[in-house]
Structure 1
Amino acid sequence: MSENYDFIEELEDFLGGTFHQDISSPKQALDDFINEASKECLLFTVKYCEEFSNSDLTNQEKGNIIQSNAEIYFPAIELTPLQWINKLVEVIKEAVKIK
Structure 2
Amino acid sequence: MDEIYDYIEELEDFLGGTFHQDISSPEQALDEFINEASIGCLLSTIKDCEKFLNSNLTKQEKENIIQNNAEIYFPAIELTPLQWLNNLVEKMKEGVKTK
Question: Normalization by structure 1: what TM-score?
Answer: 0.95
- The aligned counterpart of 1:30 is 30
Shift of 1:16: 0.2
- The aligned counterpart of 2:80 is 80
Structure 2: which 5+ residue stretches go unaligned?
none
Q: Tell me the amino acid that sits aligned with residue 11 of structure 1.
A: L
Aligned equivalents of 1:55, 1:7: Cα separation in 2: 10
Aligned equivalents of 2:7, 2:49: Cα separation in 1: 7
Shift of 1:29: 0.3
Aligned equivalents of 2:47, 2:37: Cα separation in 1: 15
Aligned runs of 1:27-66 on 2, under 5 Å?
A: 27-66=27-66
Q: Secondary structure at the match of 2:79?
A: coil
Shift of 1:90: 0.2
Aligned equivalents of 2:37, 2:87: Cα separation in 1: 18
Q: Tell me the amino acid that sits aligned with residue 7 of structure 2.
A: F
Aligned equivalents of 1:77, 1:39: Cα separation in 2: 28
Percent identical residues: 79
CA RMSD of the aligned region, Å?
1.1
Structure 1: which 5+ residue stretches go unaligned?
none
- 1:11 is the counterpart of 2:11: yes
Spell out structure 1 runs of 4+ moving beyond 3 A.
none
Shift of 1:31: 0.3
Aligned equivalents of 2:25, 2:76: Cα separation in 1: 11
Aligned length: 96
Aligned equivalents of 2:77, 2:32: Cα separation in 1: 18
